[in-house]
């Protein structure tokens, strides 16, 4: 029972991070090509200014929860994925530095450089996150001792000895990039005004079409690469509500964006991200990290979990910590109401 609880607690942390930090990653991508003036650049940054660093705390909290509850998984994944994790770390650093230092010098070339770094780092982070999830679904070449190594790429084919990037993980990266860019566009329709708001609303349609197509492609690819991902759905048919939720949230997003109801459209996008991630988690459960070298090498829930006393005590502290975190999020977002560009000059 404790294993089931902690598995889904980690999943909740991941979903919280993707939903909250996902929109400011999307805003970063749109910062590359949607804005047309310095005023609009300041407006896009003001739309995430008070919340972007707080959103990233959920990534740290998720990693800490993973380390506490499933130390074997943490040790294996963080050693085997060392190269991509270092890339992600540097992208997070570059993204934060570009945001903090952009206005320190009143030079056009300085701002243009950091705008480019901010946008490129945001796009690459979205791609790497999607590719990372696809790696987990596809599996990695785990050895009996839990160790594995993945080069950046091999022959671009899933198999016994894959790379971090292959055709399947690239699809995962594209799904994440488009989904989070769409999420960011919907956030901008809430937080900015004028021509920028209208352009953000118009770009939702092509992004939605691309996302709908990629969602179908990713589903077909997942079944082809990992047929066992459907096993839990067949054993518990009620969980087919997950793909139904994906379709319903996409339809609701389209409808509410067309009817200029940005908050509802943004919430529909959040629900889409929730169902996509929940579906991926349910597709591998109770395996935490599948092995391409054989099911005997899988890192499973029972193999990776901490001791029962540790989990019981940790659950109490986790509940207390999450209560504080949720209260902080509610407080910050309740104070950050209205159009952010109304006070752009003071950003």
pLDDT recorded at residue 109 = 85
Domain tally, the chain: 1
pLDDT recorded at residue 38 = 87
- Please check whether residue 173 lies inside any domain of the structure: yes
- Please check whether residue 347 lies inside any domain of the structure: no
- Please check whether residue 52 lies inside any domain of the structure: yes
- Please check whether residue 155 lies inside any domain of the structure: yes
How would you write the pLDDT of the chain (347 residues) with one tens digit per residue? 788 899 999 998 999 999 999 999 999 999 989 998 888 998 999 999 888 888 888 888 888 888 889 999 988 988 888 888 899 999 999 998 998 888 787 777 888 899 999 999 999 999 999 999 999 999 999 998 888 988 888 888 898 888 889 999 999 999 999 999 999 999 999 999 999 999 999 999 999 999 999 999 999 999 999 999 999 999 999 999 999 999 999 999 999 999 999 999 999 999 999 999 999 999 999 999 999 988 899 999 988 999 888 899 999 988 998 899 889 889 988 888 888 865 554 44
The boundaries of the domain holding residue 100 are: 25-203+284-331
- Please check whether residue 222 lies inside any domain of the structure: no
- Please check whether residue 271 lies inside any domain of the structure: no
pLDDT recorded at residue 200 = 95
pLDDT recorded at residue 342 = 57
- Please check whether residue 303 lies inside any domain of the structure: yes
Taking residue 206's Cβ as centre, other Cβ atoms within 10 Å add up to 11
User: In the numeric block, which tokens belong to residue 253?
Assistant: 């997003």
Residue closest to 43 by CA, chosen among 194, 215, 266, 243? 194
pLDDT recorded at residue 209 = 97
- Please check whether residue 94 lies inside any domain of the structure: yes
């Amino acid at each position: 029972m404790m294993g089931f609880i902690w598995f889904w607690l980690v999943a909740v942390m991941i979903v919280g991070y993707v939903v909250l930090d996902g929109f400011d990653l999307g805003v970063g991508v749109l910062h590359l090509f949607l804005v047309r003036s310095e005023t609009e650049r300041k407006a896009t940054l003001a739309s995430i200014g008070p919340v972007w660093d707080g959103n990233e705390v959920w990534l740290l909290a998720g990693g800490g929860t993973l380390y506490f509850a499933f130390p074997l998984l943490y040790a294996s994944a963080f050693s085997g994925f060392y190269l991509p994790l270092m890339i992600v770390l540097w992208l997070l650093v570059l993204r934060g530095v570009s945001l903090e230092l952009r206005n320190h010098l009143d030079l056009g070339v300085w701002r243009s450089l950091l705008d480019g770094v901010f946008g490129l780092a945001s796009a690459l982070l979205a791609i790497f996150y999607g590719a990372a999830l696809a790696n987990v679904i596809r599996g990695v070449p785990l050895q009996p001792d839990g160790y594995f190594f993945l080069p950046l790429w091999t022959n671009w084919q899933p198999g016994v000895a894959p790379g971090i990037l292959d055709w399947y993980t690239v699809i995962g990266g594209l799904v994440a990039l488009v989904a989070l860019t769409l999420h960011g566009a919907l956030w901008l329709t809430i937080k900015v005004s004028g021509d920028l708001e209208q352009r953000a609303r118009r770009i939702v349609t092509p992004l939605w079409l691309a996302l709908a197509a990629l969602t179908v492609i990713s589903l077909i690819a997942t079944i082809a690469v990992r047929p066992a991902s459907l096993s839990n759905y067949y054993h518990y048919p009620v969980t087919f509500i997950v793909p139904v939720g994906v379709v319903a949230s996409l339809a609701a997003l389209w409808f509410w964006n067309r009817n200029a109801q940005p908050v509802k459209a943004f919430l529909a996008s959040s629900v889409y991200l929730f169902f996509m991630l929940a579906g991926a988690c349910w597709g591998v459960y109770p395996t935490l990290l599948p092995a391409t070298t054989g099911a005997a090498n899988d890192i499973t829930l029972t193999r990776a979990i901490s001791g029962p006393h540790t989990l019981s005590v940790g659950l109490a502290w986790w509940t207390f910590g999450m209560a504080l975190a949720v209260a902080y999020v509610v407080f910050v977002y309740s104070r950050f109401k209205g159009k952010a560009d109304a006070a752009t000059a003071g950003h």
